Structure 1
Amino acid sequence: MSDNKKILIADSDKKLTTSLKGVLKDKGYDAVISNDGATALNKALSEMPDMIVLSVALPTIDGIKLSQILRSNPRTESIPLIFLSDSDIYIPHFQRHRDSLFIKPANIDEVAARIYSIFDKAAKTRDVSREGKLIEGGLSEISLPDLLQMFSMNKKEGRLYLTKGKDKGDIWLQDGNIIDAAIGEVVGEKALFRLLTWKTGSFRFLPAKVNVPHKINRATDNLIMEGLRQYDEWESLKDKFPPMDARLKVLIDPSTLPKGLRPITQEIFLLLEFYPKVSDVIDRNTFPDYEVMRTIMTLLTKGIIDITQDKGQEERPILPKEDILKLKERFASRMNYKLDREFGKVLIFSHDNDRIRYVINAINILPEFYIHKDFLKGMGSNQYLGVAGHLQIGDNIQITFIAVPVSEIFSPLWRPLSNSMLGGLTILSGEAERWDEINKIAGYFQGGLGKPMAFAIPEGEASVDKVREVKEHLNRKNDVMLFPIVKNDAEGVRNMLSSLFRSVIGAL
C-alpha cells in the first residue's frame, strides 16, 4: 500500500526519471521529478516528500551538496535518501540505517523494490511503537538502528532483549536514551557497536523502570551513526587486518615508551603481557573493536609490535584421567555431595603485586587457564585481594586461583577462604622474606587444616640454599615443594601444578 507517499526523483537523466515515475505511479505513489539540484532543493522544501531519489552528479547543486543541505535542516534531516552514482563513492552524510546507494546504470525495478521495502519497514516500525507493554519481533523486519530510533523518539524506558542463535544481548534505555548495553561480558559502547551489526535475530522490549549505571552517555543518533561507520570501516579494511588467531609480541621495552600514551594503547600493552592472540586483545579491551584493531595496525606499522610465528605450547594434561577421577572422588566425599561440575580453590599468597603478576603470567601460558576479568584492573598500588584466574581440569573441574596478601591483617578471611580450598601457593620474594607471617599462614592452612602448601620463586632465585632457608624457617625437615617459575615454560608450570594437585589427592 502506498498510503499516498510522495517521492521526489532528482536526476538529469530524463529517461530514468520518467521510467521510475511510471513504475511508482502504477503502485499508487505520487512521484515528482527534478532534473537539477536547485529545483530539487526547492521541491524538497516546499513539498516535503517522504523519500528522495537523487543523482550524485546533479547539475547546479550536486547530490552530495544537496544531501548536506537536507541533513542540516530539521524539517528534512530524517527523509530517507536513495543515491544514484556512477561509482561506489564515499558520501559524507550517508546514514547507513536509512539511506541506500545504487551504481548506474541502475535497474529501475530494483530501485523501486528498495523504495517499497523502506516504506514497508517504516510501517512496521510504527505498528511496533503503537504496541502495548511488550514489544517483540524480528531484526530482519525492523533493523536495530530503526528500532532504537523509534524508542528514542517515543522516549521509551526499559530493557531490550536481543537473541541471535546462541548469542544474547541487552540494551537498556531511559527516557529514550541508550544508557548501557551488554553482550556476554562486553558492556557499554563496545557491546552496542557489536549488536548494531546484527542483521537477523529477534528482539523483545519490556518497558520497566531502569536502575543500571550509565555506561553510555551519547545521543542515540550519534551512537548509531558512529557504530555503523566503524562497522563499514572494519568491513572495508578487514583484508588488511592481521588474522584474529595471530599472536603478537612487543618488540620494545614498554617502560621506554613516552608518558601520556592514549588509554587504548596502554590497555593493549597491558593485555599483551598476558594475551598474545589478536582476538583476545580485541575482546578484552574496553574500547570498541574497530578502534582497538586500528591501534594494533598503527603499532605494527611503527614496528613497536610484531606478529610472532610462535604457535603456543603443545597441550598436555595437568593430571592423567585416573588422577582426575581420584580428585573428583576425594573432593566430593570431603564435601559430602557430588556435582556435575566440581569447583575448588588454590590460594596464592604474596606481599608483592609484581610477583603475583609474574606468576599468573607464567601460568597463563596454559590453554586451560584464563585470567579473571577483574585481575588486571585490580593490580594497582594496593595489595591485590581477589580472583586471579581459573583453571579447567578435565571436562568438569574448575579451579579458581585467589590472590591473598601475606599479612596478618587479612587473617579474618582465612577461614571463609578455606572453604573448598585444595591447596596454597606462596610466592617468595628472593630477598628478605616475611617469615613470621608466612609461618602463620603455613601453620594455619597446612598445620591446622591439612592443606598442601607449595612455594614458588621466579627463575634464577631458586637454589639449594633457598630450599634450606625455607625448611629452616618453617621448621620442616621433610621435602619442601619449591618450584622455579619461568615465563613461557608450560612444561614447568604443568609440573608445579601437577605436584600440588597430587599432594591434594593424598591429603584429602
Structure 2
Amino acid sequence: MPSRPKILLADDDPDLLELYRELLTRLPSQPEIRLANSGLKALALLEEEPFHLFICDLKMPRMDGLQVLAVVRRKYPQLRTVVLTALTDEQLRSRVYALGVDLYWQKPGNEQEVQLFLDCLESLLSREAEGGFRGVQSKSLVDIIQLECLSQNSTLLRITHGPLTGRIWILGGELVDAETEGLVGEEAFARILSWKSGTFEQLPPEPDRPRRIFKSYNALLLETAQAMDESDAAAPAVVEPERVTPPSPMEQIAAMEGVDCVLHFGRAEGSPAESRGAETPEVTLQWARRTLDRFQHMGERLAVGPLQDIEVSSWQQHVGLAPVGEGGLLMGWLGRQPPGRVAEQLRKAVALLHP
C-alpha cells in the first residue's frame, strides 16, 4: 500500500491554520498534514522529516515567507512548494515564481475557488518527480500554462531553452500571443511547447498585447500534443549519454550546512558580483564593500596585520565577511551559529573561490 503524502502548512494565524487543515483533508490522496505557526518552526520541521508539499503564507513575523522559501528552495530542491496569500501584488508574484515556487495562489474566497485550489494541489501531489522546467520543479511547460489558465491569471511567461528564448502572453486565463525565433502566434506557441526542459520567468502582464492566438488553451494544447506525438513517433530514438556537471564553487558554498545566502564580489565599484539566496543583493553588496574597506583600512592604521574575517551576529542572523583575492565574500546564516563554525566555513569557502 503506497504511503500517504505529507504536507507542511505554515501560517502565523492559528485560525487559518485550522481552516486550511480542514480543507486539505478533502484531498483524494488523504495526506498527512503538519502545521507550523512561523517560518522558523517550518524550517525546523523540514529538518526533522521529509515532506511532499510545503504550503506557505508570505506575511509572517520575524522571518517572512520569501525568506523561508529562499531557504527551502535551496536546501530541498525536490520539495514542491506553494504560496497561499491574500496579497495581489504582481511584482511580488513574479519574485515568488523566480524563487522556483510551484504555485502562487490567492487565498480562496468561495467554494469554486477552494475546489480549484484543491485540484491543483492534488495534481502536484500525484505527479512523480521528473525533469521539467526550473521554477516548477516537476512540471512540464503544459502543466505551467494549464495552471495559469485555470487560475485565470494574467502574466507574461519568458521561457529559456539553451540559447533559445520564447514568450507566451496570458490575459485573464486566455492565451493571447506567443513569439520565438521569428515565429508568432500559434506557430510560436507550438515551437515553445516542443522544448522539453529549460527555465522560465514570470513577468508582469501586458494588457495591451495584440491578440494573435484565438483558440482556447485546451484546444491549442491538445493540437500541439498530438503534433508532438506524431513527430516523436516518426523520429528514431536517440540516446544521449548523461552529462554530469560538477557544482560550481558558489553552489558548493551555498550548500554548506546552515548557509542562507552567499555573495562573492569585486572590490571596485561596478565590478561583477555573484549571489545565491540574497534577498536584496545590491544593498548587501554596497554594505559588504564599505565594511570590508573600513576594516582593512583600520587594520593598516593599527598595523595589526592583514584582515582575516569579520563576524556580525544577532538573534535572527549571523553574517561573515572575508577578503578573497581582489574582492570579498559575504556569507549569511539563519540564527546565531556555534563558536568557530562561521570562521571555519568562511575559510573553506575562500579556499574554494581562491585555491
TM-score range, shorter chain: 0.3 to 0.5
Give the TM-score normalised by the residue count of structure 2: 0.38
